[in-house]
Each structure stands twice: as structure tokens, then as C-alpha cells.
Amino acid sequence: MDILGRTTPIAIGERTKSKDKKMNSIILQQPGKIVFGINALEKLPEDELILSSEKILFLIAEPVLNLLQPIINQLISIGKIVEVITYNFPGEPTFKQFDTLLAQSVEFNPDCVIGVGGGSVLDSAKLLAAMTGNEQQYADVVGVGLLKKRMKKLICISTTSGTGSEVSPIAILLNEKTEAKSGIVSPALLADAAYIDPILTVGLPPKITAETTMDALCHCIEAYTNKFAHPAVDTYALKGIELISKNLLNAFNDGNDLEARAALALGSMYGGLCLGPVNTHGVHCLSYGLGGKFHISHGLANAILLPAVLRFNLEASPERHAEVAVAMGIANEKDNKATALKGIEKIEELSFACGIPSSLTALGIGENDLPALADIAMNVTRLLKNNPRELTREDAIGIYKTIV
Amino acid sequence: MDILGRTTPIAIGERTKSKDKKMNSIILQQPGKIVFGINALEKLPEDELILSSEKILFLIAEPVLNLLQPIINQLISIGKIVEVITYNFPGEPTFKQFDTLLAQSVEFNPDCVIGVGGGSVLDSAKLLAAMTGNEQQYADVVGVGLLKKRMKKLICISTTSGTGSEVSPIAILLNEKTEAKSGIVSPALLADAAYIDPILTVGLPPKITAETTMDALCHCIEAYTNKFAHPAVDTYALKGIELISKNLLNAFNDGNDLEARAALALGSMYGGLCLGPVNTHGVHCLSYGLGGKFHISHGLANAILLPAVLRFNLEASPERHAEVAVAMGIANEKDNKATALKGIEKIEELSFACGIPSSLTALGIGENDLPALADIAMNVTRLLKNNPRELTREDAIGIYKTIV
């Protein structure tokens, strides 16, 4: 007898199982409240999470500190005790850097943590809300599902259209000793509320716009071509691919194009919503070492790797890769493989138009570095298992070689 | 100076405001956890919401009681104190019926309420979780935003693909004195977790399958053609329209077609996700009296009204109505209006194929009843305001007349 009390292992399930594996159960998790759109931030001061808090800790990316000051002043004027930490570490926070932040947070002991920034800031804010006053040590929570609970209320406000961290259950720290990024994945890292206001991205320089957006595009494409792709997530992935590929160049060429900024913000949110239930695959996996060892920005590393990994994966699922291309606006070619290749070429064109280099050499990485990079990639098993085609250490080196 | 400290009311915003009104900010709210897909229910016993509860109240639609029994037994075997109320009222719960349920819930005083059923059961479960031990009286919470908090943990498990209640912040009670439905809308009514397992819908008779699915189709179409439509919700609406119109007949003709059932479950979930941020318009508005006064099932009432209201609304936004048609698989005609009309005809064909009558007369409603129905509709201002075309009492009577 199965869990539903059916005494025969129902013919229904059996009959459709092979066809319908893709509709197997999946857990979709996201902040219960997402305030999305132009001027979303105006709604922040009236958020119940803030109104019900006495002490509020802001962790803010330095470039947007001034933008947030009026809101901070407003909260102080209604009697809130506010502490602001300015985040200005380059790249992902290291264990040691996070220690510094955590010490400050523990001393202030806020009721609510508000992160304002890109992925590194939001990841840090998420971990601060989780770990401040937590009996678990943060070294013990690295991995999937090890972090048991979050201690403080948490609001994430994204200032780039890329990371998706504001809606995902994931945070990344950099282990400065091993030069490897350490993923912490737990429902406890989902914010209580996310604010996604495209106005906050208007000031982003073209280079950062391009790199962060390419990261969001990777989230969508890696989810859609994922071994564990799921129809309930495909909807986000395809719409994200469409929005991003249509609007990236407009935002790159004119940072003030609010229509393009808003579309990218929505596409990036969709990319973020892919991360919890399905997540990324070989692209993000192979980029870990570029970030950890060579301190190449996350988005840039992913952007360079994306076409190379897709070319490698293509044979595993030509149809899915062709659908990605069609979502990018490519017309159907004679077969799926041809369509998919056109899509990959379009990604390369987009990158080229945005000044993203197409080779690792441009970043100072040579053939000699590839084995070490592949070793790091092979350790990212939580993403490696998602790749639609088996990807060995030799394959990884081979993929890197195509873009040296 | 605006809230972001910009001293000039930025040229950016001004320049794009007219074009980009649709990307204005919107609040997306949903359960932070949705377990979707075939055999989703198998994950229920390990849900942290349950594990952390001592006393669990199930409110279960009578026809699925047996299906749930093994799970209930399992929870009892791990030491949970479980009370089961069988829900068997016809249609929406009346104030008086809800009183009975609430008295039982107050006496048991659960930590967690689990609703298992269609819209009426889930709405009741949501209100039980909100009102058990709440100092607010439920007569005081009818309306938008009046319910301040929910007292108990809440899990919603849908057994139809229609209502969307499992992911929405809305509950409906029937005021037996005024014969009007009373909407209670509050973030506090969002479940902590929703379980959507298409297997639970396999046993639904064809008639109920058709009616509930048409309700879900209305949620999607009314959101997409809504005066307050928003790109972040359009994604759900269009995908829902596509899934439902492709799969309804398969599920109607073969209730065991799990692939179709799963697609409808996903489409219905998307319909539910439209409800909180955008909601329905004239269709649901005009159907209130059919349910309240004539006790016609909610889905059936909406299904009959859908083509009539769309024909009335069409001129307000031919493009949006054409996009609905295209999502239903209609090819583009010579202009948007023609395309849209083909879509409306396709809805009528679907209804006909599912045995849904096309006229009110078939339900025993005549011309004399129309003014009273219009009066009820005019009171549903929270939905009336969403209609893309102004809809007066006379318009309402006119629309009813087209289907008498």
C-alpha cells in the first residue's frame, strides 16, 4: 500500500511515469513577499517586517549608500534604532571578512537585517540574519540543508539584475585557504521579503551591467538545460532568457533606459527563482575556480564559460538547447542542433557587443592553470550533478581549452 | 527630494513613465513553500511545519478522506495529536457554517491547520488558521487588508485544479442573509506551505473537472486582460491559459490522464498566483450573484459568463484579448479583434465539449432575475474596479441578457 492508501501501485502512475517524469514533485521556495517594479523601494518604510522591529541592521553596498540615506533617516525619525554597515569587500566575502561582519551584527543584535546590494552583499546579509545569535557555527552550515534556522528577520534589496540572491535560498562564501567558494543552501536563507526596484540599477556602469546580466542569463539557461529541469521552473527560465536577451544591449548602451532596466530586473528575478528548485550546472561549476583562484568577477567568469559549456552539453539535449535559442529570438533552423548553435552564437555576439572577452587568456589564465581549475570544478558536486551531460575532469579541461 | 534622495524628479523616470506604467511596482505574495507535482503529498509528513507542531487539525473534503488516512495514521504514529473535521457543506461556507467549524477549532486549539480540498475547504481552513484564538472577530475582517494576523500554522492541499486558493491570500464566505459572497483578503491568509499533487485530482468526475478548470482559466484570462495587469503576473497568466486550454479536454475525457491532470494543476497554480497581485474582473464579479443567490457552482457560473464578459471587454484592449487567443493556440487573424474573437469562440467550444451550458436559462435563471444579479455584482467593487472597460449596472444587465 502506498502513502495514499492505494493498494495497487496505480496503473495511472505507472502508465504515465515514463512520459511524465518531468512533472514529478519539486519544492518551489521563494520569499513569501516580493515587491517588484519601478519605485518598489518607496514601499519599504511601511513594511510590516520593519514596523514590527525595534533594531534594524542595514548592510549596504557602498555605491548605493546615499540612495538609501533618506529611507534610513525616515526609519530613525519614527523611532527605529538603525545601524548601517557599509559593505566594500571586493568579490565574494571570505570566511574572515564575514567574521568581521558577524561580530558587528552580534554586538548590535538587530531584530531585522536588511541587505542592499549585489550578490555578495545580499549573501552576507542573509548569513548575518541566519547566524546572529545562532548556536550553529557558520563553518558547520556550509553545504546543502545544514543550516537549520535563521534567527533574525530578513529583507533583501537587490541593486543589480544578476545574482538572484534576493529570492534564492543560497549564499556563497569564499574559503580563503582552499580558494574554493563554499555554498550554503537552506530554506532558512530565503528572505522574508525581497525588494527589486530597477531604479537602483540605473547607476550601474555598463561593464557591471553586462557581467551581472550575463550571470542572470546563465541562471535561466542552466536551469532550462538542467538534468533536473522541471516545467514549473521552465516557465521562469524561458521568460527570463527572452527578457534578458531582448534588453541587455539597450541597458548596456544606455544605462538610463528604465524600460530595459525593468525588463532585466524581471528576467533576473526569474533567474533567481530557478536557483532554489533546479539551480545551475556546468557553467557555474567550471567558473568556481575562475572566481576563487583568479578573482574574476562571478558574472564575467560565467559569461565566458557559457557558450563553451553549452557547446559541450548540446548533444545531450538538442531540443532543450534549441528552445533556449528560440526564446532568444532565433528562428527554427533545419534541426534542433542547428537552431541551438545559432542560439549559442547569439550569446557570443551579445557578449562581444558588451565587451566581454571570449577567452581566458584575456584574463591572464593559461593552459598551465587548467588542471587546477578543473580540480576545483570537480569539487562542486552539488552543481556538477545537474549537468545534462556527464562532465569529467578531462572534459572540464577540454572545455577550458576551447576558450584559452 | 524624493524617497531615494534624488533632488530632481529624475528625467529617467519621467521619460519612461508613460511607456512603462506597466512596470510600476507590485507586491507578489505567495506561500514561501509550494510542493508541486506528482506524489508531492508524499513529502507532507516530513514538513517542518508538521514536525514542529504538537496538535494538528485537518479539515478535509469528504471524498478524499480515505486518501489522507494513511498520512493521518503516520502522524499519529509519530506522536502527533490529530483531529480531523470532515467538510461536507455544499458550495461556499456560510457565516453560520464557518461558526460551527471555528467552534470546533477553538476547542481543539491546534498548532497547525491543514486544509485538504477544493476552494471552499481551503478558504475555510485558511480562516480557521487565522481566526482560532484571534482577538479579531471574523465579521470584522471581511474586506481587503482588515485581517491583521493569522494565529496558527497553515498548510493548504488542493484536490481540484481550479480555485488557486492554496496559493492566494483570499477566502470567501457566503453571507446567508444578504446572499452575497464576502471576500476576506489579507497576506495573513497565505498558507505557510501549499501542496499541489495532481494525483489528488485523478478521482474528480468530468463535470467537476470541467467547472473547476474553467474557473482557473478565468483567473488567468481575467488577470491578463485586467486593468491592473502587470508583466510579472502576465507570465503566470499566459502560461496558465496555454496549459489549461491544451489539456482540459484530455482530463475531461479521461480522468486518469495524469499528464493532463498535472498540466492542469500547474495551470491552476498559475491562475492562483494571479489572484493576490492582480485578481479577477467582471467575470468573477458578475458571477457572485449566480453563486450567492442561485447556488450555482463557482466554476460553472464563471464559465458561462466568461465569453460574454470578454465580448463586452474586447474593445477596451483588443491586443491583450488577442494575446489570450494566441496563448490558446489560435493563429493570428487579420487584426487583434478578429484574433480575440476566435479565442472567445474557442472558449465556447471548450465549454460546449465539456457539457457546460451556454445560457443562464439552462440554470433556471430568467430575465426577471437580472436586475437583482446586477445589483449584487455592483457591490463587488474590489473586482469591478479591475475590469478593463467601465461596467455599469446597465452594462451588467446587458451582458447577462446576451446569455439568457
Q: From residue B158, how far is each of A266, B108, B336 by CA, in Å?
A: 29, 23, 36
What's the confidence (pLDDT) of residue B91?
Answer: 80
Q: How far is A129 from chain B (nearest CA, A)?
A: 17
- For residue A250, the chain B residues in CB contact (below 8 A) are none
Q: How confident is the model over A37-66, as a mean pLDDT?
A: 96
Q: Which of B160, B288, B272 is nearest to B222 (CA)?
A: B272
Domains A33-201 and A206-402 share a fold: no
- The predicted model gives A5-31 an average pLDDT of 59
Predicted local confidence at residue A333, as pLDDT: 96
State the nearest Cα–Cα gap between A187 and chain B, in angstroms. 9
In whole angstroms, give the CA distance from residue A213 to residue A248.
7
| Mutation site for B-interface testing, chosen from A20, A77, A234, A238 by largest number of B Cβ within 10 Å | A20
For residues B156 and B174, what is the distance between their CA atoms, to the nearest angstrom?
Answer: 20
Four-residue CA torsion sign, A224, A225, A228, A229: positive
* pLDDT number for residue A21: 57
Cβ–Cβ gap B27/A35 under 8 Å: yes
**Phi and psi, residue A139, nearest 5°:** -65, -25
- The alpha carbon of residue B44 is apart from the nearest alpha carbon of chain A, in Å, by 10
Distance, in angstroms, between B72 CA and closest chain A CA?
A: 10
By the 8 A CB rule, do B307 and B344 touch? yes
For domain A33-201, which CATH number applies: 3.40.50.1970, 3.90.1150.10, 3.60.70.12, 1.10.357.10? 3.40.50.1970
Per-residue pLDDT band for A252 (boundaries 50, 70, 90) equals: very high
Alpha-carbon distance values, A84 to A62, A313, B38, B158 (Å): 11, 45, 46, 44
Q: How many angstroms from the chain centroid is the CA of residue A314? A: 23
Kindly report, residue by residue over A118-127, the tens digit of the pLDDT. 999 999 999 9
Among chain B residues, the shortest Cα distance to A196 is held by B25
Q: What is the pLDDT of residues A270-279, one digit of tens each?
A: 999 999 999 9
pLDDT for residue B18: 38
pLDDT of res. B203: 83
| Contact at CB, B16 and A257, closer than 8 angstroms | yes
The reply to whether ipTM tops 0.85 is yes
**Which of A24, A36, A43, A77 to mutate: most B Cβ within 10 Å?**
A36
| Rounded distance between C-alpha atoms, residue A205 and residue B351, angstroms | 53
Distance CA A213, CA A207 (A): 10
**Cα separations in angstroms, B302 against A128, B162, B214, B297:** 48, 11, 7, 9
* Interatomic CA distance for residues A185 and B65, integer angstroms: 36
The domain segmentation of chain B, as residue ranges, is 33-201, 206-402
Torsion angle, CA of B120/B122/B126/B127, rounded to 10 degrees? 20
Measured distance between the N- and C-terminal CA atoms of chain B, rounded to whole angstroms: 57
Q: Write out the three cell numbers for B187.
A: 497576506
pTM score, whole prediction: 0.93
Residue to test with chain B: of A235, A244, A269, most B Cβ within 10 A: A235
Using CA atoms, how far apart are residues B227 and B218, in angstroms rounded to an integer? 15
Closest CA in chain A for residue B167: A32
CB pairs under 8 A between A and B: 172
- Give the distance from CA B131 to its chain's centroid: 21
Cross-chain Cβ contact A23/B71 below 8 Å: no
- B226 CA: distance to closest CA in chain A (Å): 18
Q: What is the DSSP string of B62-127?
A: GGGHHHHHHHHHHHHHTT-EEEEEEE--SSSPBHHHHHHHHHHHHHH--SEEEEEESHHHHHHHHH
Rounded mean pLDDT of A226-238? 97
Q: Average pLDDT of each block of 10 consecutive residues along chain B (404 residues)? A: 40 38 89 97 96 98 94 97 95 92 97 97 97 90 94 97 96 86 93 97 94 98 98 98 98 96 98 96 95 90 98 98 98 97 98 96 94 95 96 98 96
- pLDDT for residue A22 is more than 80: no
Burial A225-255 (b: 16+ CB within 10 A, else e): bbebbbbbbbbbbbbbbbbbbbbbbebbeeb
Q: Which residues of B touch A257 (CB under 8 A)?
A: 16
Domain B206-402 has CATH 3.30.450.40: no
**Which phi and psi angles does B137 have, rounded to 5°?**
-90, 145
- Within 10 A of A332 (CB to CB), how many other CB atoms are there? 12
Tell me which residue in B15, B25, B42 faces A3 most closely, judged by beta carbons: B42
Query: What pLDDT, on a 0 to 100 scale, did the predictor assign at position B292?
Result: 83
Instruction: Name every chain A residue with its beta carbon within 8 A of the beta carbon of B198.
Output: 23
Q: Are A25 and B40 inside 8 Å of each other by CB?
A: yes
Residue B164's contacts (CB-CB under 8 Å, 6 or more residues apart) are B119, B216, B219, B268, B269, B271, B272, B273, B274, B275
SS3 at position B353: helix
Q: Closest chain B residue to A19 measured between Cα atoms?
A: B259
Distance CA A66, CA A43 (A): 18
User: Does B232 contact A266 at a Cβ distance shorter than 8 Å?
Assistant: yes
Which residue in chain A has the smallest CA separation from B20? A259
Burial (CB count within 10 angstroms: exposed 0-12, middle 13-18, buried 19+), residue B179: middle
Nearest residue in chain A measured CA to CA from B28: A34
Q: Which residue has the cell 488577470?
A: B223
Between A370 and B174, residue with greater pLDDT = A370
